[in-house]
Structure 1
């Protein structure tokens, strides 16, 4: 249980920063999860509480992206539904497997996320380049392969989630011809759905630090909304570098 004013402040700041990252870079948990570990929460409790606390960040992002979400409503609903199904699977995996499995794989999940964060500029550039080809009809439907990867990204979001936003950007960018803002809006909202379903499961059967959830919820919703508003204008180089440094430090700390 989180106790003490300074720890509360750190949780609030982590929630706000994670909310910003939810709607921009897409690696919210890579900021907030290490903070929760640093204040003394066990890894699984930190992960469960983090998932619940970041649901409002997705809601704030969805409000900020409301115009983009109206562009392809059918596709948006499909991706949200698939992510929700995946989130249920991820939550079940987290609770069914021993906590030692989670503690063993998390450093490698974070390391993989760092690689994805580093690759995100190339993903975004590929998406923008694809828009330059106006000689073929736009792709606006998920292929079976893309559908599978959307579900798997939802599973990852329900199990841990750091970098799930980058994964979803990659899946949507490589399989669809959509404006980047629309992709970001669908990404943010679909992963919120994954978190909601996983959060329901965690609420019923998992050990949750409700103080952390409440503090993160209050601050992350503001960060999510603000992040959505600045997502297409934010110079992400410094932010991305900070995320990479934080991720590498967390991996080294957990492996030593």
Structure 2
């Protein structure tokens, strides 16, 4: 529940940034945000190994404050842009916790749902929503949320993670061009 609360706070801040910043900022930043998420997911094992070595050298795990600062920042990303935020949160969860991919994915879904839901309420309150498009996106998210976890449990983790990361890089390049 702490993760969801932190993501919701970040999502609200991200929505405020999107509503207040010029559209040109969004256009310039988005490809880089997507690429960051993809690279983090692709480099997850190396990042996790580095974090474990660092913790051993220091004689303790990373500070919980680092985690509790990072999660709302990911929530800001989710509330601001949304796409790719799940990949970034998934990478962060995978570095912090050693869980099966299906468990990490389920936790990611809850956190991203909190950030996106909070941001959606802010957008609705400001009247900044194309309701028809939102309904279609919501339906797609519902279908993905219903079938996605079953697919994640069925497919092998590493190839799936690599495919998601490579697709993310492709999306980043597409958005940049």
TM-score (normalised: structure 1): 0.56
| Unaligned ranges ≥5, structure 1 | 1-76, 131-138
User: What is aligned with 1:163?
Assistant: 84
The structure that is helix-richer by fraction is 2
- Tell me, in whole angstroms, the C-alpha distance in 1 between the residues paired with 2:85 and 2:143: 20
**Which deviations, in whole Å up to 9, do the C-alpha atoms of 1:101-125 show, x marking residues without a partner?**
22222232233233234335x36x9
- Tell me, in whole angstroms, the C-alpha distance in 2 between the residues paired with 1:93 and 1:239: 27
User: Does 2:69 match 1:153?
Assistant: no
- Tell me, in whole angstroms, the C-alpha distance in 1 between the residues paired with 2:35 and 2:99: 29
Q: Using the TM superposition, give the Cα deviation of residue 221 of structure 1 relative to its aligned residue in structure 2, in angstroms.
A: 0.9
User: What is aligned with 1:212?
Assistant: 133
User: What is aligned with 1:80?
Assistant: 4
User: Could you say what the CA RMSD is over the residues aligned between the two structures, in angstroms?
Assistant: 2.6
CA contact (8 A) 2:41 2:88 kept: no
**Which deviations, in whole Å up to 9, do the C-alpha atoms of 1:51-104 show, x marking residues without a partner?**
xxxxxxxxxxxxxxxxxxxxxxxxxx1111111111111111111222222222
Distance 1:110 1:241, change over 3 A: closer
User: Does 2:116 match 1:203?
Assistant: no
Distance 1:173 1:155, change over 3 A: same
Distance 1:190 1:92, change over 3 A: same
User: Does 2:10 match 1:101?
Assistant: no
Distance 1:226 1:191, change over 3 A: same
User: Does 2:157 match 1:241?
Assistant: no
Deviates more, 1:190-199 or 1:96-105: 96-105
Q: Using the TM superposition, give the Cα deviation of residue 240 of structure 1 relative to its aligned residue in structure 2, in angstroms.
A: 4.4
| Unaligned ranges ≥5, structure 2 | 53-60
User: What is aligned with 1:185?
Assistant: 106
Specify the SS of the correspondent of 2:99. Answer: coil
Specify the SS of the correspondent of 1:162. Answer: coil
- Tell me, in whole angstroms, the C-alpha distance in 2 between the residues paired with 1:173 and 1:242: 19
- Tell me, in whole angstroms, the C-alpha distance in 2 between the residues paired with 1:238 and 1:115: 12
**Which deviations, in whole Å up to 9, do the C-alpha atoms of 1:233-256 show, x marking residues without a partner?**
32525554344323312212xxxx
Q: Using the TM superposition, give the Cα deviation of residue 190 of structure 1 relative to its aligned residue in structure 2, in angstroms.
A: 0.8
Residues paired across the two proteins, number:
163
